[in-house]
Structure 1
Amino acid sequence: MGIDVPRLESVVGHREANTYSLMLVALLERGEPMTLAEIAERFEEAGVDDAESALRSLKRCKPGRPPVYREGDRYALDPHDDDLDLWAFRLDLRPPRVAPPPRSCAAPRAAGQ
């Protein structure tokens, strides 16, 4: 993906952070499949919520939807899924791919000119 390995703590409280997006960050951080219980434990370590409440939230957030896939009881990321790249951008884990247009430096015109 071309991003630094994120830390879950760095996105807790982000305006785009929710249970599902935090799960994505936990999986990116670990770099290998995890069970929901392992993700919930990581949430507790990062101060998201206690593990029991986090596990309930993870089960309700539809954790097996792209870019996440499930193998048995473990969840993993598809690094080639465009949604993962979009989430990385939304969570400020990567910069925009296109620079914003330059702003005009012209001074505003005075009234009556």
Structure 2
Amino acid sequence: MSDKVDTQELGDEIVRVLKTIYDPEIPVDIYELGLIYDVFVNEDRDVKILMTLTSPNCPVAESMPQEVGEKVKSLDSVNDTRVELTFDPPWSQDLMSEEAKLELGML
């Protein structure tokens, strides 16, 4: 068995985990909401997630990034996880997927 990491496959696995985390105020997962700006995976299976929140005053500003980090790190194929929170660019409804907009009756 090879130790070579398929970063694309691992990235897909991480996205599946992210889709199990929901914003407490909006009944849509954080990935479809557009709160995940980027997921970086290196060959050492270290993961960096760049994410935002719907607002800087979001009630889950501390717990949401922590939950994201813990859930992703719980994957057997992940070595380490770092979650970086940014508000640049600020989140807007434009970042939501079509699926999220449909779910919320915006289409």
> What is the TM-score when the length of structure 2 is the normalising length?
0.30
Choose between structure 1 and 2: higher strand proportion: 2
Structure number with the bigger relative contact order (C-alpha 8 A, sep ≥ 6) is 2
> What is the TM-score when the length of structure 1 is the normalising length?
0.29
